[in-house]
Amino acid sequence: MAEHFERLESILGQISGFMYPNEIELHWGLLVVLYPYITGLVAGAFILASLERVFRVKEIEPTYRLSLLTALAFLLVAPLPLLAHLGHPQRSFEIFLTPQFRSAMAMFGFVYAWYLTVVLLLEIWFEYRADLVRWSDSERGLKKILHWVLSLGSRDLSPEAVAFDQKAVYTITVIGIPSAFLLHGYVGFIFGSVKANPWWSSVLMPIVFLFSAIVSGISLILILYYVTTMIRRKPLDMACLDKLSEFLLYALIIDLSLELLDFIHRLYESEESIKILSELIFSKLFISLTIVQILLGTIGPLVLLAVARFSQLPAELKRVTYFIAALLVQVGIFSTRWNVVIGGQLFSKSLRGLTVYKLELGGMEGLFTSIGLLVLPFLILFVLIKLLPPWEEARAEKPLVE
């Protein structure tokens, strides 16, 4: 604890202006930045999958199952940064026992459980069921057992059953779209409903969160599709990449418009908080907001994508540009989450001072833990891909009935 106090002492020395004495300790750190980032990826990946299934965008079919598995891998990791951040993670089940329904955070338990079970797991199950049956029939050993368990002992491969599966997937996806909105939107509401904080309190917050989620999800799938296809030494489906980048572009445009709207609205209304917030943007958040989030993370990729998608560049150059744009988007969206969460705590609620955020390297709230938590979903995804291969060639022989 002495270390903790030392850190707080040094923060004390770096405060400019006046902070309430209890505000010296910044309460929501890097771990809380991770949570909206991860759930955003989940929601975005799922929305992309729904584009294929519900809106019948056939070009992105190669990414459909991959999107589902990605969403699952990240969703499984999503509660971990929250648990790590809690003062008493062992009491976290209280959210399920006695949720205080007026709190947006209490919704976490239910929205998460609903999304994980009724949307993701159910959809993956119905999508893979026929294959699971066939795989468990034709395999041996551990894989056979695992696939049999996952199929819940189901054996029915009749055309009616398979058709039912397809219908179920469609229905679940339709339900899943608003559920994905809810999963990430409520996180936006957690921040947007805090009237005490003028940086967070905004009607636009859930919407902005949602669209940055869609942007980050699409770009993640683009990256994953690119990387996994390269690793498997298969040809990249250019039509698929073109379509992904198109959607990414449109989503980026909407995202940028929303951010601009928020910015212009604040400047125009010029409420009391504008002075300290301007100071915040131009001092503490200058690099992470203006440079990383806006320039590198939104405008840069927007230009790259527009040029690459609608120009006559050769395919190899196009897809590298897409890839770079997608990477930049990831950095930009992470920065967006950082600017919201950390940015909102860098100024005093007295509107008279600014403080600093000291990022530790080690410890529960440290950089290394967060890096680990960001790597973990990819490891889980690796396991899921091994268990439930999403590739075209891995599907069992008998074609599915449409």
Partner 1 sequence: MRIWKFPDQVVRLGILLIVAVIAMVVIRDQFVPESFGELGHYRADAIISIENQPIRYAGSIICLECHDEQGEIKSASYHRTLTCEVCHGPATAHAEDYESQLPVVERDSRTACLPCHQYLPSRPTGFPQIIERLHNPPQPCIGCHDPHDPTPPEVPGSCAACHAQIARTKSVSHHVQLSCETCHETLPDHLQSPRSFRAKRPTTREFCGRCHGAVSDTAPTAPQVDIASHGDRYLCWQCHYPHFPEG
Partner 2 sequence: MPREYERREILIKLMELPCSALILSVCGLPDAEASTETLQEARAESLYGMGIQVDKCIGCGSCVAACKAENDVPEEPFYFRTWVERYVIYDDGRVDVDSPEGGIHGFTPNQEDGADVLRAFFVPKLCNQCDNPPCVQVCPVGATFRTEDGVVLVDSDYCIGCRYCIQACPYGARYLDPRTKTADKCTFCYHRIKQGLLPACVEVCPTQARVFGKLTSRASPLRRMMRMSELQVLKPFLNTEPKVYYSKLDGEVR
Site residues, partner 2 (CB under 8 A): 1, 4-5, 8, 12, 17-25, 27-28, 82, 85-89, 91-92, 94-95, 97-100, 102-106, 108, 114, 118, 160, 163-164, 167-168, 171-172, 175, 190, 193-197, 345, 348-352
Residue 159 as a binder of partner 1 (CB under 8 A): the answer is: no
CB of 103 to partner 2, least distance (A): 5
∠ CA 242-40-25, nearest 5°, is 140
Dihedral angle over CA of 177, 170, 69, 109, nearest 10: 50
Cβ distance to partner 1 smaller for residue 6 or 94:
94
Distance CA 338, CA 160 (A): 49
Distance CA 51, CA 47 (A): 6
Which residue's structure tokens are 């695992």?
146
- Give the per-residue SS3 of 93-147: CHHHHCCCCCCHHHHHHHHHHHHHHHHHHHHHHHHHHHHHHHHHHHCCHHHHHHH
Residue 160 as a binder of partner 1 (CB under 8 A): the answer is: yes
Residue 26 as a binder of partner 1 (CB under 8 A): the answer is: no
Stretch that binds partner 1, among 5-13, 156-164, 247-255, 364-372 (CB under 8 A): 156-164
Name the binder of 5 from partner 1, partner 2, none, CB < 5-8 A by kind: partner 2
Distance CA 8, CA 24 (A): 7
Three-state DSSP class for residue 195: coil
Phi-psi region of 22 (alpha: psi -120 to 50; beta: other; left: phi over 0): alpha
Q: Of 1, 100, 159, 233, which one interacts with partner 1 (CB under 8 A)?
A: 100
Cβ distance to partner 1 smaller for residue 125 or 322:
125
Question: Length of the chain, please?
Answer: 402
Name the binder of 349 from partner 1, partner 2, none, CB < 5-8 A by kind: partner 2
Dig out the tokens for 111 from the structure: 């929205």
Residue 110 as a binder of partner 1 (CB under 8 A): the answer is: no
Consecutive H or E run containing 285: none
CB of 109 to partner 1, least distance (A): 11
Name the binder of 374 from partner 2, partner 1, none, CB < 5-8 A by kind: none
CA distances from 338 to 27, 31, 136, 186, 344 (A): 13, 10, 45, 18, 9
Stretch that binds partner 1, among 124-132, 202-210, 250-258, 327-335 (CB under 8 A): 124-132
CB of 136 to partner 1, least distance (A): 14
Residue 165 as a binder of partner 1 (CB under 8 A): the answer is: yes
Name the binder of 400 from partner 2, partner 1, none, CB < 5-8 A by kind: none
Stretch that binds partner 1, among 6-14, 17-25, 95-103, 170-178 (CB under 8 A): 95-103
Three-state DSSP class for residue 17: strand
Q: Which residues pair with 347 in a beta bridge?
A: 354
CB of 135 to partner 2, least distance (A): 24
Name the binder of 104 from partner 1, partner 2, none, CB < 5-8 A by kind: partner 2
CB of 301 to partner 1, least distance (A): 41
Dig out the tokens for 56 from the structure: 């019948």
Residue 90 as a binder of partner 1 (CB under 8 A): the answer is: no
Q: What does the DSSP 8-state code read for residue 271?
A: -
Three-state DSSP class for residue 186: helix
Where does this chain bind partner 1 (CB under 8 A)? 93, 96-98, 100, 122, 125-126, 129, 152-156, 160-161, 164-165, 168
